[in-house]
Amino acid sequence: MANKDELIELVVDDVYGELDVPSVAGRDQWRATVVRTAADLRAMVLRHPWIAPELSQVGLVHIGPNALRTASGLLARFEAAGFPPDETERALGTLMAYVVGIATSEAAYLSLIARSGRTEQEWVAEVRPAFDEAARTHPPLREASSARQDAHPRQIRDADFVYGLERVLDGLAARLGA
């Protein structure tokens, strides 16, 4: 019989099976396919928030067939883009660290809200006055937050994820010309 860690690894790999890694695209399509897979990975973590600590705990290394299929598929995207062989695994690791890191933080935030029994909008509206008061002596922080206060919190999270992902990919794309 498997021990607890082996069972968790099997369940994590089963969840990785939800991901549909697109087939290798041409050099000019690498970024779009990586963005799609990154968004799908984030969505997977948010559907299964219990998985976030498991992904973080093992150092982003999973050896089940579904996890390996996902990693291999992403690696092929970076290879197709023209990354040098000694950088493809680093590019993959950088992408995974960003996506798993942000999704882990997001899953923890959403779990906190779920425990409160409120919707995300209700929770944000409830803490906003305290934030505004605390940020009173930090005008740039308060102004930046106020500029987004009418947006739905999910829209803000989605936009922040895309912004960070695009910056990570901008940095990786810069290596293609190096």
Query: CB of 96 within 8 A of CB of 60?
Result: yes
Taking only the tens place, the pLDDT of each residue in 116-159 is 999 999 999 998 888 888 888 988 887 877 778 888 999 999 99
Q: How many CB atoms lie under 10 A from the CB of residue 34?
A: 25
Taking only the tens place, the pLDDT of each residue in 107-122 is 999 999 999 999 999 9
Of all helices (H) and strands (E), which one includes residue 134?
helix 120-134
Residues in the chain: 178
Token pair for 114 = 């779920």
Question: What pLDDT score does 61 carry?
Answer: 60
Taking only the tens place, the pLDDT of each residue in 90-113 is 999 999 999 999 999 999 999 999
